[in-house]
């Protein structure tokens, strides 16, 4: 993506549509919306697998119950450091501990909200539609 959308995250359908959070199209009506949903699903799977691997190797991430109680900047630094250490461990072929493994589940840091309770802003929907039209037509 271009710098026009610098901080966008992929969320599942339990989250509201926000300017910084892309969610699947609930009832896709066009091929572009279907392609967007497919790409979104693939991206979410990779994110969840990566989170599971990091949580399996680093108990500080797994045992938090899904939340790191630090500033966003500090959380970012912790996650980047864990990614760097994980990559180094892979290069050096350091195995996971026996009780750990890549099948550790992902715990959401924020509870999904009922989408009927919180209506998406028209501007947020427009942003998602612009992304779909620009990249998935």
Q: What is the pLDDT of residues 40-51, one digit of tens each?
A: 999 999 988 988
Task: Quote the CA–CA distance of 124 and 59 in Å, as a whole number.
Answer: 36
Residue 111 is given by DSSP the state -
Residue 53: pLDDT above 80? yes
CB-CB contact of 9 with 18 (8 Å): no
Beta bridge partners of 9: 21
Residue 31: pLDDT above 50? yes
Residue 113: pLDDT above 70? no
Is residue 105 within a helix (H) or strand (E), and if so which, with residue range?
A: none
Map residue 88 onto helix, strand or coil.
helix
* pLDDT greater at residue 61 or residue 114: 61
CB-CB contact of 8 with 20 (8 Å): yes
Q: Which of 127, 123, 135, 122 is nearest to 33 (CA)?
A: 135
- What is the tens place of the pLDDT at every residue in 89-99? 999 998 877 55
- Averaged confidence pLDDT in the chain: 78
The dihedral through the CA atoms of 41, 26, 129, 117 has a sign that is negative
Tokens of 78: 């912790």
Q: What is the pTM of this model?
A: 0.64
Percent of the chain with pLDDT over 90: 29
- What is the tens place of the pLDDT at every residue in 55-91? 888 888 876 666 778 888 888 899 899 999 999 999 9
- Say which range, 14-18, 58-62, 101-105, has the weakest mean pLDDT: 101-105
């Amino acid at each position: 993506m271009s710098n026009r959308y610098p901080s966008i995250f992929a969320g599942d359908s339990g989250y509201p549509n926000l300017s910084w959070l892309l969610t699947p199209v609930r009832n896709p009506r066009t091929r572009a919306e279907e392609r967007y949903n497919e790409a979104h699903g693939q991206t979410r799977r990779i994110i969840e697998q990566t989170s599971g691997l990091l949580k399996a190797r680093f108990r500080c991430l797994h045992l938090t119950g899904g939340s790191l109680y630090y500033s966003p900047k500090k959380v970012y630094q912790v996650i980047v450091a864990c990614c760097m250490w994980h990559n180094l461990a892979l290069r050096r072929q350091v195995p996971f501990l026996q009780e750990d493994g890549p099948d550790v589940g992902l715990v959401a840091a924020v509870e999904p909200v009922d989408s009927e309770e919180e209506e998406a802003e028209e501007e947020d929907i427009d942003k998602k539609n612009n992304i779909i039209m620009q990249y998935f037509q």
